[in-house]
Structure 1
Amino acid sequence: MRHFLDFEKPIAELESKIDELRRMAEPGGINIAEEIARLSEKVDRQLRTTYAKLSPWQKAQVARHPDRPKASDYVATLITEFTPLAGDRAFADDAAVIGGLGRFQGQAVMVLGTEKGNDTESRVKHNFGMSRPEGYRKARRLIELAGRFGLPVLTFVDTSGAYPGIEAEARGQAEAIARTIEACLAAPVPIVATIIGEGGSGGAIALASGDAVLMLEHAIYSVISPEGCASILWREASAAEAAAEALKLTADDLKRLALIDQVIAEPLGGAHRQPDIAIAAVAEAIAGALTPLLALDPALLCGRRAEKFLAMGRETPG
């Protein structure tokens, strides 16, 4: 069953009519192919009109769509010979961060991703993509392992932020995130990060401090969620829409501010409507970003990466 967002109600009504007509057009029923084609064209027009003018808050809803491809979907489709690696060698394994070895288009790589899950059971298992300290320590361990064996690192980011529970803070959440960012900046291998859904706070930056930061067209990336920002600045969660506007969290905003390197176009209506096309577009973008990085000397690679992040905020692009 397809999930529709609030602003997609007109589209939902049209698609409901199409489904109803298709049932009527079953063997022995009425031939209404022309009417179905007409309504399908109307749906396409409505999608183009709606998605051409999405507000930042609407983009946040698209980024969180339950049917949007998750990190595990990208890994399953793009990475061959994938061998998962678990544990932080200190406390436990955190299912919110998945990682392991595999091949991307024949190139041996280390893969990491924040995983939200696709149904109730998997969402609980992966803690809705909110990692605890052991998840970031696992990520750090795998990044350092990749550096020792000369393996490029690919990351897929989709998290509302690090887990804010008391036990996570007690186990050193902030330190774990900082150490993971440090490992990213020090890695002597190329790192290509892709924001595939939500990129929330330090929980996202920990896996997105790469040489190339790619972002899907309807993904979001910000220092805090719109709801969190609204509760702090406006003292009410209902101001989330205004907060989303102020945060400049869309891919276009971030590209203009030079905080990401590339915006990846999504299929009409968002990645959740045609996941295979979205995943293929991400694969093409990763390949394009990774190839030139493979030719760089490790010292040059690290220096460029550090300068890239140090330059952020020094001056606002025109």
Structure 2
Amino acid sequence: MLLDFEQPIAALEGKLLEMQKLADESGVDVNEAVAALQAKIKALKKETYANLTRWQRVQLSRHPDRPYTLDYIEGMTSTFVELHGDRTVGDDKAMVGGFGELDGQTVMFVGQQKGHNTKQRQYRNFGMPNPEGYRKALRLMKLAEKFNVPVVTLIDTPGAFPGLEAEERGQGEAIARNLKEMFMLKVPVICVIIGEGASGGALGIAIGDRVLMLENTWYSVISPESCSSILWRSWDYKEQAAEALRLTAIDMHRAGLVDGIVKEPLGGAHTAPEQMISTLKTTLLKTLKELNTIPAEDRISQRIDKFSAMGVVVE
């Protein structure tokens, strides 16, 4: 799938393929022309992706070929045992989690899971968890605390499921309880936004010692489309809404709302999934090593202080 701003790059790559095919068929030496065109493509890519608008980054975060939570977990771990159910209602397929071995260290992974095709997306409810999903996530995090295992959450959701049945089962309470309990977890907690980070649906598993964002992701109280529909009664102003929301990784880091940005391959995570997974694994191992040196009580105090310092309160 090509996004609008990627069309000029795709056109040049098409010409490159034609040139290489012509050279193979005719036997003409076109190495210099190929090298020049490759250099031009590389330069255009760097210029394009270095100057993306906020809306374009939102589009990249939703690219259907981006790695999802289970792709990262399976790519980073040598062993992964998925755990199911909240022990109250059922097993929410939009929220996944379990123990994984990360270079010999056991880690509890929790995250929202989207699908790679229509059938999977329906099965995973498009990555929108119900209350039982958040309760499952909390159950797994408390289990990790019991066995002194660090927690890594991978966030990628357009929001918690907004259906009537979700509200009847206590969607708001489930998310609020997660926020409270995650502040007090005695084990290291790392939260990574790997795609969309929308509203309380994302925040429900995003309270941690370190909150990181991949380069082409977004994190906000509302999506650009929903913001546009509220302010202008139309989705046509989603680009203006994205600019006003300042929802990119760069914006969040400047505002002090996240602790770091994980670099993506040129063109986005979907262009080189294995490279992206390897980069995130290296970042997690480095961060876990740092957090493991901090006593539990100090980590909890720093976690509370970090989030308490966000925003402004006027009485």
In 2, Cα distance between the equivalents of 1:115 and 1:31?
48
| 1:6-21 matched pairs, under 5 angstroms | 6-21=4-19
| 1:1-318 matched pairs, under 5 angstroms | 3-26=1-24, 32-314=30-312
In 2, Cα distance between the equivalents of 1:144 and 1:268?
38
In 2, Cα distance between the equivalents of 1:80 and 1:310?
37
Residue 69 of structure 1 contacts residue 275 of structure 1 at CA under 8 Å; is this kept in 2?
Answer: yes
Residue 185 of structure 1 contacts residue 305 of structure 1 at CA under 8 Å; is this kept in 2?
Answer: yes
Is the deviation greater in 287-296 or in 159-168? 287-296
In 2, Cα distance between the equivalents of 1:38 and 1:123?
42
- TM-superposed deviation, 1:46: 1.1
In 2, Cα distance between the equivalents of 1:242 and 1:67?
26
TM-score, structure 2 normalization: 0.94
In 1, Cα distance between the equivalents of 2:239 and 2:6?
17
Residue 116 of structure 1 contacts residue 127 of structure 1 at CA under 8 Å; is this kept in 2?
Answer: yes
- TM-superposed deviation, 1:73: 1.1
- TM-superposed deviation, 1:297: 2.0
Residue 128 of structure 2 contacts residue 160 of structure 2 at CA under 8 Å; is this kept in 1?
Answer: yes
> What is the DSSP-based 3-state SS (H/G/I as helix, E as strand, rest coil) of the residue aligned with 1:246?
helix
Q: Deviations over 1:187-232 (max 9, x none)?
A: 1100001111111111111111110001111111111100011111
- TM-superposed deviation, 1:30: 5.7
Residue 86 of structure 2 contacts residue 135 of structure 2 at CA under 8 Å; is this kept in 1?
Answer: yes
Q: Deviations over 1:149-182 (max 9, x none)?
A: 1110011111111111111111111111111222
Q: Deviations over 1:91-131 (max 9, x none)?
A: 11111111000111211110011111222222221111111
Give percent identity, aligned residues only.
Answer: 48
> What is the DSSP-based 3-state SS (H/G/I as helix, E as strand, rest coil) of the residue aligned with 2:270?
coil
In 2, Cα distance between the equivalents of 1:140 and 1:40?
49
- TM-superposed deviation, 1:25: 4.9
In 1, Cα distance between the equivalents of 2:7 and 2:310?
39
Q: Deviations over 1:240-267 (max 9, x none)?
A: 1011011110111111110000011111
- TM-superposed deviation, 1:39: 2.5
Is the deviation greater in 255-264 or in 177-186? 177-186
- TM-superposed deviation, 1:43: 1.6
Residue 73 of structure 2 contacts residue 100 of structure 2 at CA under 8 Å; is this kept in 1?
Answer: no
In 1, Cα distance between the equivalents of 2:174 and 2:106?
27
In structure 2, the CA distance between the partners of 1:126 and 1:36, relative to structure 1 (3 Å rule), is: farther
In 2, Cα distance between the equivalents of 1:159 and 1:36?
41
Is the deviation greater in 146-155 or in 305-314? 305-314
Q: Deviations over 1:34-53 (max 9, x none)?
A: 44333222221111111111
Residue 132 of structure 1 contacts residue 162 of structure 1 at CA under 8 Å; is this kept in 2?
Answer: yes
- One-letter amino acid matched to 2:134: Y
TM-score, structure 1 normalization: 0.94
Residue 143 of structure 1 contacts residue 183 of structure 1 at CA under 8 Å; is this kept in 2?
Answer: no
Flag structure 1 segments of 5+ consecutive residues without an equivalent: none
Q: CA RMSD, aligned part only?
A: 1.6
In 2, Cα distance between the equivalents of 1:30 and 1:139?
60
> What is the DSSP-based 3-state SS (H/G/I as helix, E as strand, rest coil) of the residue aligned with 1:94?
coil
In 1, Cα distance between the equivalents of 2:259 and 2:174?
26
In structure 2, the CA distance between the partners of 1:151 and 1:246, relative to structure 1 (3 Å rule), is: same
In 2, Cα distance between the equivalents of 1:66 and 1:268?
17
In 1, Cα distance between the equivalents of 2:29 and 2:122?
46
In 2, Cα distance between the equivalents of 1:24 and 1:93?
55
Q: Deviations over 1:127-147 (max 9, x none)?
A: 111111111110010011111
> What is the DSSP-based 3-state SS (H/G/I as helix, E as strand, rest coil) of the residue aligned with 1:80?
coil
Q: Deviations over 1:277-315 (max 9, x none)?
A: 222221122122211211222222222111111111149
